[in-house]
């Protein structure tokens, strides 16, 4: 069903009219003509338009885009499925998710994603992750307060919630490492400190804690390395 006009496409996909015309002229979609000879686009057209534009912006050759779009269109449903629809690039594959099902559409390797709202048939481009429900500092402050109160299990939960909401933050990981060490879960603490350094290699206090922990675990070669890093970083200050 061709139910979307040019203004609908502009609003839903945030594409300028000139870009829509360019993609139509290039043959990526073939809209039907409605009243007053106006273009009318289908749900499939919307997906193909936004995907083609994203690939073109990533300098993918036109022939490859056309081939990918042909294969993508062949698998797309005719209308917005009740379970919703998302498209994302994973490594070198374009993967389509429809409800709990997941299938490969083509071999595009550039990141793009869509989210469909089955309630109103809208389509929104996803360009960044949703903001966390709480700011990062709130998780850190809550975890620290619980640590100081000796409520280590609750502090661990607060830091893990922060990591789930905010991602790999070095301070969250470091603080969680301290909690795990206090709980005598040394292997888990070690893993958290290492993750903290992956997020921030110049985290001096984390190098210091790792040096002490490796020493306690009987691994002096690692302890020496991290202590040297700690001294190098603190000497600069």
- Asked if residue 84 is part of any domain, the answer here is yes
Of the pLDDT bands very low, low, confident and very high (cuts 50, 70, 90), residue 132 is very low
Q: 154 pLDDT exceeds 90?
A: yes
Kindly list the distances between the CA atom of residue 15 and the CA atoms of 32, 124, 142, 219, in Å, as whole numbers in the listed order. Answer: 19, 12, 42, 57
Q: Tell me whether residue 200 is in a domain.
A: yes
Q: What is the CATH number of the domain that holds 207?
A: 1.25.40.10
Scored b (16 or more CB within 10 A) or e, 40-72 reads: bbbbbbbbbbbbbbbbbeeebeeeebeebbeeb
Asked whether residue 12 falls in the same domain as residue 39, the answer is yes
Residue ending a domain, among 125, 146, 167, is 125
Number of structural domains, the chain? 2
Above pLDDT 90, what percent of the chain?
29
Same domain, 50 and 86: yes
Q: Please indicate, yes or no, if residue 175 is contained in any of the structural domains.
A: yes
- For 11-70, what is each residue's pLDDT tens digit? 777 777 877 887 788 777 788 888 888 888 887 788 778 777 766 666 666 676 676 667
Residue 120 has pLDDT above 60, yes or no: no
**165 and 73 assigned to the same domain:** no
- Please tell me whether residues 115 and 175 are part of one structural domain: no
SS3 at position 79: coil
Q: Does 17 map to a domain?
A: yes
Instruction: State the pLDDT at residue 116.
Output: 47
Please state whether 89 falls in left (phi above 0), alpha (psi between -120 and 50) or beta. beta
Could you tell me how many residues make up the chain? 237
**More confident of the two residues 89 and 118:** 89
Question: Which of 74, 92, 125 represents a domain boundary (last residue)?
Answer: 125
Exposure string for 124-160, b = 16+ CB within 10 A, e = fewer: eeeeeeeeeeeeeeebbebbbebbeeeeeebbbebbe
The answer to whether residue 131 sits within a structural domain is: no
Domain that holds residue 99: 2-125
Q: Where a domain ends, among 125, 157, 175?
A: 125
Residues 6+ away with beta carbon under 8 Å from 107: 68, 92, 93, 94
């Amino acid at each position: 069903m061709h139910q979307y006009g040019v203004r609908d496409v502009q609003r839903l996909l945030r594409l300028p009219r000139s870009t829509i015309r360019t993609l139509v002229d290039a043959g990526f979609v073939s809209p039907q003509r409605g009243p007053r000879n106006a273009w009318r686009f289908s749900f499939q057209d919307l997906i193909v338009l936004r995907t083609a534009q994203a690939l073109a912006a990533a300098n993918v050759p036109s022939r490859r885009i056309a081939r990918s779009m042909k294969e993508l269109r062949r698998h797309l449903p005719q209308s917005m499925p009740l379970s919703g629809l998302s498209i994302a690039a994973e490594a070198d594959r374009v993967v389509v998710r429809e409800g709990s099902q997941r299938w490969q559409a083509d071999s595009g390797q550039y990141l793009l994603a869509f989210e469909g709202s089955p309630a109103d048939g809208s389509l929104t481009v996803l360009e960044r992750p949703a903001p966390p429900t709480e700011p990062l500092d709130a998780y850190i402050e809550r975890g620290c307060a619980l640590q100081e109160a000796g409520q280590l299990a609750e502090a661990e939960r607060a830091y893990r919630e922060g990591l789930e909401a905010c991602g790999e933050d070095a301070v969250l990981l470091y603080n969680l490492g301290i909690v795990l060490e206090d709980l005598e879960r040394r292997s888990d603490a070690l893993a958290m400190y290492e993750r903290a350094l992956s997020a921030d290699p110049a985290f001096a206090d984390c190098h210091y804690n790792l040096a002490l922990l490796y020493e306690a675990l009987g691994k002096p070669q690692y302890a020496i390395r991290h202590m040297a890093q700690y001294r190098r970083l603190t000497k600069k200050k």
